Structure formats: structure tokens, C-alpha cells
Amino acid sequence: MANLLAEGYRRLFKGKRFYIVLAVVIAISVMFTLLYMAVNKLAGGMVMGEEDAPMIPADPLLFDNIGITPLLVGIAAGMLIVQDFRNNTIRNKIIIGHSRVKIYMANWIVSVTVMVIYMIAYLAVSILLGAIILGFEEFPSKAIFINLLHVFFIELAMTSLIVFLCNTMKNVGGFVLAITMHYIVDMFSLSLMLLNKHEKAQQIIREAVPSLQMSIIQQNYTETHANGVRMILFMVAITVVSTVAGALLFRKSDLK
């Protein structure tokens, strides 16, 4: 496993894609900060007394990356997996006796590392710029820390699904599906209205689907959620099931 990780990390850090996406992550944080600053200036100009104007603090900045992180992880880590199949370099690992389950798990660990690096980079820049330019209202607070931990589990589930799709489909189709799945689920979330007579079912679906959980967190990041533990357990379940299923499917599949 250590050898597979060494191979995977070298491939990740030797390529340009990881660094380009990292730059995009930082740019997104900077852009949101500047956007909030511009909105605050505009609001200040519209209200007579600047002190009375409703100002956006830096706190929501910490959660603005939730939806875009899976896309960026997909581009950096998902493409790394798909390229291994496209170039047939995955063969080099199987031929020399690495087990397929370990190859899958190494891909998963490398992808989760990418996710953690991007999350930390975003948060670090947001906290720094947010504190200097906008100022925080609630942060640091227990509720925000718990919600940030909650976000980690949502992103973990999304990353596991990305690894599952890329490793199972083994082609660019898997990569495209992986980076767009969040937006596809978002589009179909409207169909939840059809369940208006079944509130309980509606709530469970909202809590079980990572993309819908993201909206719940973003809408209220200053308070912990009543069903927070259950929501996290759903994410853990998605992570475990998709990873076990992906590894088993990969173990059985024939390669080119």
C-alpha cells in the first residue's frame, strides 16, 4: 500500500493540474472576499448612515466553497484516476502483483488528500482575507467548527463517489459524470416538491443526499442542526458503501 501511495502522490504532485486547481481554489476565496467587500460598499452607499447599513461578515465565506469543491477534486483527483486507465498505466501495478483492492484504496486516499488540501487552502485564505478585509461576526464559534466538520464528511462522501465513478467507468465519461453529479442532483432536487404530502420522506432525502445537505449547511451555518449526527452518519454510510462497492467491482472487472 505504501508503494502504491508513493506512486500515486508522485504522479499527483508531478503534474501541473493539481497546482492549477489549487490556484483556482485560492482565487475563488479571493474573489468571494472581494465580492462581499464590493457588496458591502454598495450597501453602505445606499444607506444614509454607514453604521446602519447591513454588512456581510466574513463568516459565510467559510462555506462558499462547499458546492464547488467536488468539481475541483474531480478535476484534479478524478482525472488522475481516469488517466491511469486511459494510459493503461494501471496495468503496470497489477502485473507486478498489487492487489486491486489496494490499488482502489490508494486512489481513494490520494483523492481524499487532494480534497483535504483544497479545503485547508480555501479555509486558510478565507480566514486570513476575511479577517483583514471583512471581519468575522461569529467565527470562531463552536457551531461554525461543528458545521465545518460536517462539511468535511459531506466532501468525503462526494470524493468517495468521484473515486467510485472514475474507477468503475474507467473513462472520461466517468470523470464528466463525477464532476457534474452535484449539479445534476441539484437540478433534480426540485422533484422533491412532489413529496409535499410526505414530509418525513422529504426530510430524510434532504438529509441523505450530499448535495442537498450542502444547501442545508449553507442556509444556516451559525447553528448546529438538530439531526446533525444522523446527517453525518448518512455521509459516512455513502463513503463506506461506495468505497466497498467500488473496490469489489474493480476486483471483478477485466481490464484492457
Partner 1 sequence: MDYVLQTRDLYKKYGSFKALDNLTINVPKGSIYGLVGRNGAGKTTLIRIVTGLNHPSSGEFTFYGVKNNDGKILEARRKMGAVVETPSLHPNMTARDNLIQQTKALGISDEKIDDILKLVGLANTGKKKAKNFSLGMRQRLGIAFSLVGDPEFLVLDEPINGLDPQGIIEVREMITRLNQEKGITILISSHILDELSRLATHYAFIERGHVIKEMSAEELENASRTFVHINVNDTKILADVLGGMGIEFRICSPNEADIYTPVQVTPLVLALNDKNCIVNSMSEHHESLENYFMGLVGGVQNG
As a whole number of angstroms, the distance between CA 71 and CA 148 comes to: 18
Does 97 contact partner 1 by CB under 8 A? yes
Q: In this chain, which stretch among 4-12, 67-75, 154-162, 182-190 interacts with partner 1, using CB under 8 A? A: 4-12
Q: Is 230 in the site for partner 1 (CB under 8 A)?
A: no
Torsion angle in degrees (nearest 10) through CA of 116, 166, 178, 10: 30
Among 34, 42, 45, 89, binds partner 1 (CB under 8 A): 89
Compute how many other C-beta atoms are within 10 angstroms of the C-beta atom of residue 111: 26
- Asked if 98 is part of the footprint of partner 1 (rule: CB under 8 A), the reply reads yes
Beta carbons within 8 Å of 19's beta carbon, 6+ residues apart: none
Smallest separation, CB 244 to partner 1 (Å): 19
Binding part of the chain for partner 1, among 44-52, 65-73, 90-98, 203-211 by CB under 8 A, reads 90-98
Cα–Cα distance for residue pair 17/252, rounded to 1 Å: 31
Give the closest residue to 152 by CA, choosing from 132, 110, 123.
123
Q: Among 13, 49, 52, 96, which residue interacts with partner 1 (rule: CB under 8 A)?
A: 96
Q: Given candidates 34, 42, 47, 94, which one binds partner 1 under the rule CB under 8 A?
A: 94
Cα-based distances in Å from 122 to 25, 32, 84, 177, 195:
6, 11, 28, 24, 36
Which residue stretches of the chain are H helix?
A: 2-14, 17-46, 69-73, 79-86, 90-95, 100-129, 142-169, 172-188, 199-208, 210-219, 228-252
Kindly state the smallest distance separating residue 245's Cβ from partner 1, in Å. Answer: 18
Stretch that binds partner 1, among 10-18, 32-40, 176-184, 209-217 (CB under 8 A): 10-18
Cell of residue 255, nine digits: 481490464
Give yes or no for residue 113 binding partner 1 (CB under 8 A).
no
CB of 77 to partner 1, least distance (A): 16
Single out the residue of 58, 93, 112, 161 in contact with partner 1 (rule: CB under 8 A). Answer: 93
Query: Does 88 engage in binding with partner 1 (CB under 8 A)?
Result: yes
Residue numbers at the binding site for partner 1 (CB under 8 A): 2-4, 6-7, 10-11, 14-15, 87-99, 252, 254-256
